[in-house]
Structure 1
Amino acid sequence: MMTQKQKTTVIYAVPAILMGIAVLGNLFSKEFSWSSSDFLIAGILLFGTAMIVDLIRRIVKNKTYKILLCIVVLLVLILTWMEFAVGLFGTPFAGS
């Protein structure tokens, strides 16, 4: 069983690893060309999501509600990321 500290470490390590992979992709691949603002937005989205999931994990007592809320937060992250990347909904924030 994981301790609370280990769970928190994992929650924040996942976005850090994803950002590290993005940095390596940007350094070694010609197809991967993020600007500094792209990294800033990705960091805000990923670490903001991690903070919200951690907050849900700490505050909500009912396990079913925890899981449902975390799924909703992750779906919002995915939809936001898709909108920024390819303009799924056609808002002015779309990257295409």
Structure 2
Amino acid sequence: MTVQIKRKIISVVITMILLAIPLVAMQFTTEVNWKLSDFIVAGILVLGTLLMTDYILQKTKRKNIRIGLIGLMILIFITVFIELAVGILGTPFAGN
């Protein structure tokens, strides 16, 4: 198995572990109420971010550029996730 395939498998496993957190929380409280679509969107966001981070690490050699691009990816991820969760920007994207 190549390193690239192992990285992709690790990304999928990390995504599944992160999605298991709200799934388990839903069993113990009614405050966490995710639908199937919520899991799909969160999975796409997390897996997409991890795969893009892996792509950036493979294609860029300079440390400063890597740090900047990965920081930008994390900022975009956090902004989209928060917008979908609570609608801080008030866009129709969040369902407001």
> Does the TM-score normalized on the shorter chain lie above 0.5?
yes
Please state which structure has a larger fraction of its residues in helix: 2
Q: Which runs of 5+ in 1 are unaligned?
A: none
Q: What corresponds to 1:73 in structure 2?
A: 73
TM-score, length-normalised on structure 1? 0.83
- Runs of 5+ in structure 2 lacking a partner? none
State the TM-score, normalizing by the size of structure 2. 0.83
Identify the residue that residue 57 of structure 1 maps to in structure 2.
57
Give the letter for the 2:29 counterpart: S
Q: What is the alpha-carbon distance in structure 2 between the residues aligned to residue 95 and residue 27 of structure 1?
A: 25
Q: Deviations over 1:20-71 (max 9, x none)?
A: 1121112232111100000000000000001100000100110111111001
Output the aligned Cα RMSD: 2.1
Farther-moved stretch of structure 1 (28-37 vs 16-25): 16-25
Aligned partner letter, 1:72: L
Q: CA deviation at 1:16?
A: 2.6
**Count of aligned pairs between the two proteins:** 92
Query: Percent identity at matched positions?
Result: 38
SS of equivalent to 1:72: helix
